[in-house]
């Protein structure tokens, strides 16, 4: 029975999206519980500013090195080998797993050493005491990219085999680990207990996927073949994707810098409101984009344009149908939503009002953020990462310029409005260019 559960395979995009959406709903709900406990325990003050700032660099490493390989190249190329020669697909998986793991270990060790200088760079508005504690948390959190990196490769294998049920459990385990840290590790270890919770969550994110990957046929081998054709194809796609992801992460870092110069608690308010708006984004946008990606990759490999368009635009309509009502609900009921989720303990009326304003402006661009996830995978299915980079660069300039200007007289809600304006522009450009690209085939 356990093996049957772990080997559960989704046969359609809709069934995969339902599984991913349901799991995302649970994960996001746990995330809201996590944020409620954090807000009630610490309020929107120095402690949460430190906690969220400490996330930035470890998250940057994970996003650039791991997601740059997985979201752009691993899945479509792994699928191409899976359809022809399964032994070569496992050879590719082992090579990428080992190369990424070794790279993460080396990079994280180097960044642990240079953490004090890096934290000063991204939080120039922090006091010396806040900076020192942020460095301590950051160094602990550098363990999480390694576990999440291994988990991402395993997750790519599971997606390729249609094993979305077990894949979807990873984020749930991650949030449970963080909640465990808040409830049981903060009292004995202080604020560093939050960082230990993040590491535990990342470890659980990885462990839960191992049995099903084993059942799929994967066996670990110490292979480091940089010359293998599949590895070279992934590496060829990585630079543009990494730079594009770097833009996203740099945007978050710069937003953190902007917020560090605003009122105390602005970093916390920005992150808490973005976490809330990420709830429908994860349930509807991420779920459908991930579920559609393997099928889009298959049709792109076959150069089957009619079927590619059918899969893409069917998914497009489903995301839009679900995300627009969610956006309207978040805009109209923003203050009530924030009060229900965060209104406890040290999180008072002033913080609720400021967070609800920020949430409302984030919600304006929610539909764009959800559809961007699908459009990016539309490009990746054709092994094109350069075009999304150029578009992302132009959008990032608009996003940051707008955020800087608007925050100068609106405060932290201005950061959210600038973010949303950039998202809408990003979506419009992706739509125009992808449509032209497909028509050329």
Please report the pLDDT score of residue 154 as a whole number: 92
362 neighbors 403 (Cβ within 8 angstroms)? no
What's the whole-number mean pLDDT along residues 104-118? 91
Share of the chain above pLDDT 90, in %: 27
pTM of the entire structure?
0.73
69 neighbors 244 (Cβ within 8 angstroms)? no
CA atoms within 13 A on the CB side of 35: 27
Please report the pLDDT score of residue 5 as a whole number: 54
d(CA 339, CA 278): 17
Tokens for 433, please give them. 């260019």
What's the whole-number mean pLDDT along residues 11-39? 78
Per-residue pLDDT tens digits for 145-196: 889 989 989 998 998 888 888 888 988 999 899 999 989 998 899 889 999 9
Which of 343, 26, 25 shows the shortest CA–CA distance to 176? Answer: 26
Please report the pLDDT score of residue 289 as a whole number: 87
Q: Which of 14-28, 355-369, 408-422 has the lowest mean pLDDT?
A: 14-28
**Number of residues in the chain:** 441
Which of 377, 376, 328, 436 shows the shortest CA–CA distance to 75? Answer: 377
Inter-CA distances, 319 with 23, 168, 370, 401, Å:
17, 18, 7, 29
Tokens for 299, please give them. 């049709």
Q: pLDDT confidence of 437, banded at 50, 70, 90?
A: confident
Domain residues for the domain of 226 are: 2-440
What's the whole-number mean pLDDT along residues 130-145? 92
Q: How many domains does the chain have?
A: 1
d(CA 422, CA 409): 19
Which of 320, 379, 380 shows the shortest CA–CA distance to 71? Answer: 380
**Angle between helix 334-342 and 266-280 (nearest 10):** 110
d(CA 285, CA 376): 12
Please report the pLDDT score of residue 93 as a whole number: 92
Q: pLDDT confidence of 50, banded at 50, 70, 90?
A: confident
d(CA 416, CA 324): 18
Tokens for 199, please give them. 């590491």
Per-residue pLDDT tens digits for 230-262: 888 888 877 777 777 777 777 877 887 888 777
pLDDT score of 203 more than 90:
yes
Please report the pLDDT score of residue 33 as a whole number: 84
Residue ranges of the alpha helices (H) in 72-191? Answer: 75-82, 86-113, 115-122, 128-141, 144-160, 164-167, 169-180, 186-189
58 neighbors 145 (Cβ within 8 angstroms)? yes
What's the whole-number mean pLDDT along residues 312-326? 91
Per-residue pLDDT tens digits for 56-97: 788 777 776 666 556 557 888 888 888 788 889 999 999 999
d(CA 245, CA 264): 28
């Amino acid at each position: 029975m356990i093996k049957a559960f772990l080997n559960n395979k989704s046969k359609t995009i809709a069934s995969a999206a339902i599984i991913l959406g349901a799991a995302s709903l649970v994960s996001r709900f746990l995330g809201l519980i996590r944020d409620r406990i954090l807000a009630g325990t610490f309020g929107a003050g120095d402690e949460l500013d430190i906690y969220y700032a400490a996330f930035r660099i470890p998250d940057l490493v994970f996003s650039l090195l791991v997601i740059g390989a997985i979201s752009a190249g691993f899945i479509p190329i792994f699928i191409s080998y899976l359809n022809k020669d399964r032994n070569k697909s496992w050879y590719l998986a082992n090579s990428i797993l080992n190369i990424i793991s070794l790279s993460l270990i080396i990079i994280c060790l180097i960044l642990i050493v240079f953490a004090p200088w890096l934290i000063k760079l991204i939080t120039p508005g922090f006091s010396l005491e806040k900076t020192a504690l942020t460095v301590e948390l950051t160094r602990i959190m550098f363990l999480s990219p390694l576990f999440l990196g291994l988990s991402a490769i395993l997750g790519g294998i599971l997606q390729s085999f249609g094993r979305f049920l077990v894949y979807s459990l990873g984020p749930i385990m991650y949030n449970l680990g963080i909640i465990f840290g808040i409830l049981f590790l903060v009292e004995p270890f202080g604020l560093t207990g939050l960082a230990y919770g993040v590491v535990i969550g990342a470890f659980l994110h990885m462990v839960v996927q191992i049995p099903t990957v084993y059942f799929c046929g994967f066996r670990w081998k110490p292979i480091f073949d940089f010359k293998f054709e599949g590895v070279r194809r992934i590496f060829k796609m990585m630079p543009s994707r990494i730079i594009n992801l770097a833009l996203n992460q740099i945007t978050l870092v710069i937003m953190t810098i902007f917020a560090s110069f605003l009122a105390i608690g602005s970093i916390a308010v920005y992150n808490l409101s973005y976490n809330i708006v990420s709830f429908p984004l994860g349930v509807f946008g991420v779920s459908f984009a991930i579920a559609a990606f393997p099928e889009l990759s298959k049709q792109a490999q076959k150069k089957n344009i009619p079927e590619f368009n059918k899969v893409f635009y069917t998914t497009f309509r489903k995301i839009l149908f679900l995300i627009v009502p969610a956006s309207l609900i978040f805009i109209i009921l923003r203050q009530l939503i924030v009060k229900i989720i965060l209104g406890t303990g040290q999180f008072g009326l002033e913080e609720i009002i400021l967070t609800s304003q920020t949430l409302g402006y984030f919600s304006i661009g929610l539909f764009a953020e959800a559809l961007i996830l699908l459009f990016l995978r539309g490009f990746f299915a054709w092994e094109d990462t350069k075009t999304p980079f150029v578009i992302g660069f132009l959008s990032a300039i608009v996003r940051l310029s707008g955020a800087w200007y608007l925050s100068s007289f609106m405060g932290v809600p201005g950061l959210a409005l600038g973010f949303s304006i950039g998202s809408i522009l990003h979506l419009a450009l992706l739509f125009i260019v992808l449509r032209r690209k497909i028509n050329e085939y």
